[in-house]
Amino acid sequence: MIYKIISWFVFNPQSNTDLKTINRDRDLRNYQVFSNSRYLFFFGGRLRTLTNTKRFSIFTFIIILLPLILYLIFESSWLWHHVSPALVILFIYTWFLCFMNFLMAAATDPGILPKNIHITDDSRQLPIEYFNIISLPGYLKNNSVEIKYCNTCHIWRLPRTSHCATCNSCIMFHDHHCMWLDNCVGQRNYRYFLNFLIFACISVIYLIITSFYHLFKYDQFLPIREVMKHIPMTLFLAIYSCLAIMYPALLLTCQLFLTMNLMTTREYFHILNSSPNELKGNNFISKVWNTNSFNSKNIFTNLVIQFCRPRGLSLVRLQDRYINGDSRFENLNNDKDSDFGKYQI
């Protein structure tokens, strides 16, 4: 009973690779036998993080949590009594939205595809077509959509799907692997990622305005040295916020640019690497705008598609009961002995 409770709170399937063979009669869930992934699961497989990273997501969480604590201790009382309680409530609300979107972006399914679906009789001697990149007609003329076989996951990837070496999984609509989230950004959490950046910027701008307003009110009656003695944490929050706004604002600007072109970060860098000498001046914008096969050629439509389209169902239902022999959770890779591995992109 104690083991069941502990394993429900946190479970590492990599440390239990023989669990399904030793305890076949036990009522197992799919996340408990997902040993061919690199995830650490929490709360019965509802949340996850990676086991092979430097835990930058914890650092990100501290950066998010610190200003809230300082704000509630040192700033909220003054704003509540001297300005308006609504300012305090509004900041807590925006911070909560920022944190929840961070949690959903960092700890939920980014769009993992099931593994071991298109298995051959001998993975060491794959058919010749498995080594090729297949081009299909795209939405726009003269543009094509490429699909290829993933030797690690043993599946034919969907369009705009890429394999993440860090997560060891193929991710639908793979934008990039975010080290600050310890998770990939894909089809099922991209909207949370954008919302996290948006509300992070709103919260920091809110802190900048309220902190400098508080400093300005004190500065009217006291010299700057006295202000630093009386409200040092207000000054710290002002400086902290000015520094903290830079990276998320820059990242949000880049992501909004890609969103307006309905393009992923991987596709953007693929264009840059394919013809760097041609991307100068207006040619750069034209190349990015016209190359993407999925671009609707309307900025507003692209934004609506990106922000409002359904997340889609999770294709790997980790909370379902494990069925003995389910190949999706078997570790069939033998990359060291396979000749295909050296061709993997």
The C-alpha atoms of residue 290 and residue 270 are separated, in whole angstroms, by 14
- Backbone dihedral angles phi then psi of residue 180, each to the nearest 5 degrees: -80, -15
Helix spans in the chain (H): 2-9, 19-22, 56-70, 76-82, 85-107, 190-219, 224-230, 232-244, 246-260, 265-274, 282-291, 299-308
Nearest in space to 108 (alpha carbons), one of 314, 321, 251, 322: 314
C-alpha separations of 325 from 112, 116, 300, 322 in Å: 20, 12, 47, 9
Instruction: Output the six-digit token pair for 125.
Output: 């001697």
The C-alpha atoms of residue 320 and residue 327 are separated, in whole angstroms, by 15
Output the DSSP codes for 88-141.
HHHHHHHHHHHHHHHHHHHHS---BPPSSSS--S-TTS--GGGGSPEEEE-SST
Q: Is 178 among the catalytic positions?
A: yes
Catalytic residue among 178, 242, 254, 308: 178
Nearest in space to 161 (alpha carbons), one of 178, 148, 151: 148
Q: Report the catalytic residues.
A: 178
